Amino acid sequence: MRILSLQSGTSADGIDVAIVDIDADSAQSARNGRTPWLTVRPLLTRTVAWAPELRTRLLALADGGRVDAEELCRLDTLAGQEFASAARAAMQHLGSAVDLVVSHGQTVFHWVDGTRARGTLQLGEAAWIAEAAAAPVLSNLRAADIAAGGEGAPLMGIFDRAWLAASEADDGTPAATVNLGGIANLSVVTSGGTMVAWDTGPGNVLIDAVVARATNGARGFDADGKLAAAGQVDARLLSALLQHPYLQRPAPKSTGRETFGLHFVDSALAAAKGDSPLSLEDLVATLTRLTARSVADSLHTGTVERPGRLIASGGGVRNPSLMSALGAEVARNGISLVSSDVCGIEPDFKESLMFALLGFLSWHGVTCELPATAPGRARVAGQIAPGPGPLRMPAPLAGIRGLRVLPMEARTPAAAAGASR
């Protein structure tokens, strides 16, 4: 089936769009009485910029800004319309209809009470997307797991369990992945198929925040890690930052921008430095090391069997300073760091493939067992806006065995030249 995946991450740096074919070898599996293997083939991947003014308003809300119901309604509607036009443009570019759209939306709040997730809010009204795509839209992917007692996050473990079942099954050592988005999340999958996954803490979110503040918004991130490369890690500040209670908590756990924001950096700065100034370069170098150290420490303390390698994805892969800091931190435990490129997945679009997979699973009635989901309480993820036609759901599947990611389908030169990435 052809699935269009839409999402905007914690950084709200853009709307990631992918159109993906996911097919089950069901005939063969049915003959063997087994659950199917899936093949996942991306046909189109692109990132579409948010309208700047809307992005500013969404980020203000995600950063704790107080808004009234009118503004919430407007933001939900406007975000839905932006996702809708991103979907429409991608379908026009490919010249193809889709069977299903999966829309994660823009997270504006992840409600964690003490140590338990209680709720989560993603904006982007699905009805607009269903109108534009003339297809059913699956959205609100996290709520069912939270209502059943889970964290609703991180979702990447679902993809990694299926993906690594195929690629690392005979190796014997567990495989680990890290997604370096605004928040960083890890998954560890053993060769027996057991999966653990959790948010380790900050990915790029703090680096982005201090760069944006220091440049009055002229720059939104540490392009190519140049500021970090020009600075020195401040050991006192790093140690103050590492005291954050979230970093000490055992997995499973999930977090968001509301926990890791400028208020946290500023109070650690005050505790560690008092009034002594710190250059932007040193601050960024220290925050870059914080991400690397917290991911590596979390991987070390959160896993019983040591993985052989750590496969990285997300925008942080484009930051050489972060990748070299993380590579050095995990190497101390004998783990090698590689980009997901090496394993056939474009780092910027691994999450898009993950959302497409979630869509396939929910469409086929397959439940999602996330890391904090209690035994017997796995639920089918998401809610469906039917779109113009009556819903025709396929026969449910009992589960899947695993998935293989095929290379991006070869495009005609004209189509490839028009692609945004």
Ligand X SMILES: Nc1ncnc2c1ncn2[C@@H]1O[C@H](COP(=O)(O)OP(=O)(O)OP(=O)(O)O)[C@@H](O)[C@H]1O
For ligand X, the binding residues (CB under 6 A) are 9-11, 13, 179, 181-183, 204, 207-208, 221-225, 314-316, 318-319, 351
Structure-token pair, residue 108: 């504006």
Contacts of 176 (CB under 8 A, 6+ apart): 186, 187, 188, 189, 299, 303, 307, 309, 310, 311, 335
- Our measurement of the distance from residue 17's CA atom to the centroid of its chain's CA atoms, rounded to an integer in Å, reads 13
Task: Of 48, 51, 59, 53, give the one whose Cα is nearest residue 87.
Answer: 48
Instruction: Closer to ligand X by CB, 223 or 391: give it.
Output: 223
76 binds, among Mg ion, ligand X, none (CB under 5 to 8 A by kind): none
Instruction: Closer to Mg ion by CB, 37 or 159: give it.
Output: 159
Q: How many residues does the chain have?
A: 421
By CB under 5 A, the count of residues binding Mg ion is: 2
Nearest-CB residue to Mg ion? Answer: 9
Torsion angle, alpha carbons of 68, 70, 72, 74, to 10: -150
318 binds, among Mg ion, ligand X, none (CB under 5 to 8 A by kind): ligand X
Give CA–CA dist 126/391, Å, rounded: 15
Stretch that binds Mg ion, among 8-16, 260-268, 369-377, 400-408 (CB under 5 A): 8-16
150 binds, among ligand X, Mg ion, none (CB under 5 to 8 A by kind): none
Helix (H, G, I), strand (E, B) or coil at 354: helix
Instruction: Centre a 10 Å sphere on the Cβ of residue 97 and count the other Cβ atoms it contains.
Output: 11
Query: What is the closest distance, in whole angstroms, from the C-beta atom of residue 193 to ligand X in the complex?
Result: 24
Residue 13 binds to Mg ion (criterion: CB under 5 A): yes
Place of tokens 């990447």: 156
Query: What is the closest distance, in whole angstroms, from the C-beta atom of residue 199 to ligand X in the complex?
Result: 10
Position 269: which residue type? L
Instruction: Closer to ligand X by CB, 160 or 208: give it.
Output: 208
| Burial state string for 134-167 with b = 16 or more CB within 10 A and e = fewer than 16 | ebbbbbbbbbbbbebebbbbbbbbbbbbbbbbeb
In Å, how far are 90, 100, 148 from 152, measured between CA atoms?
A: 28, 22, 9
Asked if 208 and 214 count as a contact pair (C-beta separation under 8 A), the reply is no
201 binds, among ligand X, Mg ion, none (CB under 5 to 8 A by kind): none
Query: What is the closest distance, in whole angstroms, from the C-beta atom of residue 212 to ligand X in the complex?
Result: 10
Residue 9 binds to Mg ion (criterion: CB under 5 A): yes
Query: What is the closest distance, in whole angstroms, from the C-beta atom of residue 183 to ligand X in the complex?
Result: 6
- The answer, yes or no, to whether the previous bond of 252 is cis (omega within 30 of 0) is yes
Instruction: Closer to Mg ion by CB, 7 or 373: give it.
Output: 7
Give CA–CA dist 25/242, Å, rounded: 47
Residues 153-172 that bind Mg ion (CB under 5 A): none
Instruction: Closer to ligand X by CB, 168 or 208: give it.
Output: 208
Query: What is the closest distance, in whole angstroms, from the C-beta atom of residue 268 to Mg ion in the complex?
Result: 25
Query: What is the closest distance, in whole angstroms, from the C-beta atom of residue 220 to ligand X in the complex?
Result: 6
Instruction: Closer to ligand X by CB, 165 or 317: give it.
Output: 317
Give CA–CA dist 260/11, Å, rounded: 12
Helix (H, G, I), strand (E, B) or coil at 260: coil
152 binds, among ligand X, Mg ion, none (CB under 5 to 8 A by kind): none
Instruction: Closer to Mg ion by CB, 13 or 199: give it.
Output: 13
Residues 125-154 that bind Mg ion (CB under 5 A): none
Query: What is the closest distance, in whole angstroms, from the C-beta atom of residue 25 to ligand X in the complex?
Result: 30
Instruction: Closer to Mg ion by CB, 9 or 124: give it.
Output: 9
User: Would you put residue 299 in left (φ > 0), alpha (ψ -120 to 50) or beta?
Assistant: alpha
Query: What is the closest distance, in whole angstroms, from the C-beta atom of residue 314 to Mg ion in the complex?
Result: 8
- For the chain, the first-to-last Cα distance in angstroms comes to 23
Residue 256 binds to Mg ion (criterion: CB under 5 A): no
Instruction: Closer to Mg ion by CB, 13 or 21: give it.
Output: 13
Query: What is the closest distance, in whole angstroms, from the C-beta atom of residue 413 to ligand X in the complex?
Result: 27
58 membership: H or E segment, kind and range: helix 52-62
DSSP 98: -
Residue 351 binds to Mg ion (criterion: CB under 5 A): no
Query: What is the closest distance, in whole angstroms, from the C-beta atom of residue 53 to ligand X in the complex?
Result: 19
Give CA–CA dist 50/55, Å, rounded: 6
Instruction: Closer to Mg ion by CB, 121 or 268: give it.
Output: 121
Residue 105 binds to Mg ion (criterion: CB under 5 A): no
183 binds, among ligand X, Mg ion, none (CB under 5 to 8 A by kind): ligand X
Task: Please give the residue ranges that form the binding site for Mg ion (CB under 5 A).
Answer: 9, 13
